[in-house]
Amino acid sequence: MASYVSHLECAYTGQRYEADGLHTISDAGKPLLVRYDLRRLGTEVRREDIESSSEPGFWRYSPLLPVGEPA
């Protein structure tokens, strides 16, 4: 499944971080915000597909979650 996360961004400084690394907080000690490629997401994912997903619980929203492929 594709990830639509473009990058992570410090909520305080705006500093960008690669989305594929493991991060907890920014260098400034502030939360990281997840930024999405909304244009691509809007053309490739339909609301109906998420609503009708057979995935259990919050995994139905996997295209929107900032996590990689399960191992």
Q: How many domains does the chain have?
A: 1
Residue 71 located in a structural domain: no
- Tell whether 70 is covered by a domain: no
pTM above 0.85, yes or no: no
The boundaries of the domain holding residue 25 are 5-64
Quick check: 70 pLDDT over 70? no
Number of H helices, E strands in the chain: 2, 3
Tens digits of residue pLDDT in 13-68: 999 999 888 889 999 999 999 999 999 999 998 999 889 989 888 888 887 887 76
pLDDT at 71 over 70: no
